[in-house]
Amino acid sequence: MKELRMILYKELIHIVRDKITLFLVLAIPIMLVLLFGFTISTEIRNAKVAVLDQSKDSQSVALIDKISSSGYFQVVAYPETESEIDRDFKEMDIKLAIIIPSEFEHSLEKEKIATLQIINDVSDLNVASVLNNYLQAITHDFITEYNHKGSESGTVEMVTNMRYNPEMNSVYMFVPGIITLIMIIVTALMSSITLAREKETGTMNMLLITPVKKVYVIIGKVIPYMCLSLISTAMIILISVFVFKMPVNGSIWLLLLLCIIFMFTAASFGMMISAISKTQIDAMMVTMMGLFLPTVLLSGFLFPLDNMPMFFQVLADVFPAKWFIIAIKDVMIKGSGFFDIWKYLGILILMAIVLITISLTNVDKRK
């Protein structure tokens, strides 16, 4: 135990001395959360549109007014012909073009029917979908007003209820993901890289010939980074709660337990990686390709898992991130209790045990 304390102390000195790295480790997560929180929004405002108005009557002008005053759209071009629309897409970066048919007012008046043609830039499908939704709502309002049905009586109203996230705050979606990434980077990456660095510079051998048990050397290396990542995680959670008003609906202790367990799993990944890599670049690449990339892609944090081919869905189960993200969302947002998430905790603990066993048997082998 005394030996472990000594190693811990040594590692702590390393961390505190390397002020730049310490700053980066602590500041980057905060900066990422703030940046994401303030900038990433799935809502689109002031999308550029072009309107080709073939009738130029009072109703078409009223419709254009309504579109541009909605806040969602900004009419930046009035092309005269359809061929000009293509130029507007390419030069002005408009997201969609609206073609109002000729004799628009007349059609509404007499034929009681009119059709707008909308040209979407679907190079980004989601943007196109979102904008179409906005436009639908605007045209619906427009025609309701036109029919003098301000009271909406007799129509079927649809009330939407955004469960768990009534204000449609994107923070809900990515905070669990960021916590996961930060924990993996700080715990797994940092500890595996510093272990690799000791191997690279030869100081590892110095430590290993001392009577200190190898296991202690490794554990002593890993624990300080686990603490660092716990501090980062706590800061992320505090920022998301106090700055972005994200709720913690479940028990805060359960959340803490969950984070600590995941930290062990991440740390065991770090030990595993350092067992197989000799240089820092090795460690970095293995972590990036083997752990970071799967975490980003296969955790369901950015990309929905059910869209993926079966193979990747199965692959996703092997990595801890997926389970952690499900569990942390459940606890923070849905307010789940221990019995809702015990399965996920079990999976994470199991993974940690398997990985630690593998890497410890590896460390003790003499080459």
Chain residues 33-52 in contact with other proteins, contact rule CB under 8 A: 35-36, 38-47
Is the Cβ of residue 151 or residue 366 nearer to other proteins in the bound state?
A: 151
DSSP tag of 70 = S
Q: What is the dihedral of CA 345, 349, 352, 358, to 10 degrees?
A: -140
Residues 246-285, one symbol each (x = binds other proteins by CB under 8 A, - = not), give ---------------------------------xxxx-xx
Q: How far apart, in Å, do the first and last CA atoms of the chain sit?
A: 27
> Which residue among 52, 119, 223, 273 contacts other proteins (CB under 8 A)?
119
Contact 331, 254 (CB under 8 A): yes
Q: How far is the CB of 181 from other proteins (least distance, A)?
A: 9
Q: How far is the CB of 279 from other proteins (least distance, A)?
A: 8
What tokens appear for 361 in the block? 């048997």
Contact 102, 38 (CB under 8 A): no
Is the Cβ of residue 147 or residue 362 nearer to other proteins in the bound state?
A: 147
Q: How far is the CB of 132 from other proteins (least distance, A)?
A: 7
Is the Cβ of residue 42 or residue 361 nearer to other proteins in the bound state?
A: 42
> Which residue among 1, 83, 152, 367 contacts other proteins (CB under 8 A)?
152
Is the Cβ of residue 128 or residue 230 nearer to other proteins in the bound state?
A: 128
Is the Cβ of residue 225 or residue 356 nearer to other proteins in the bound state?
A: 225
Sheet bearing 47-53, strands edge to edge: 73-77, 47-53, 96-100
- Taking Cα atoms as reference points, which of 165, 194, 342 lies closest to residue 258? 342
210 contacts other proteins (rule: CB under 8 A): no
Instruction: For the segment 336-365, give every residue that binds other proteins (CB under 8 A).
Output: 336, 340
Is the Cβ of residue 227 or residue 284 nearer to other proteins in the bound state?
A: 284
CA distance 6 to 219: 12
CA distance 299 to 324: 9
- Taking Cα atoms as reference points, which of 348, 341, 182, 181 lies closest to residue 268? 348
- Residue corresponding to tokens 């510093």: 194
What tokens appear for 225 in the block? 């980074």
Residues 303-342, one symbol each (x = binds other proteins by CB under 8 A, - = not), give xx-xxxx--x-------------x--xx--xx-x---x--
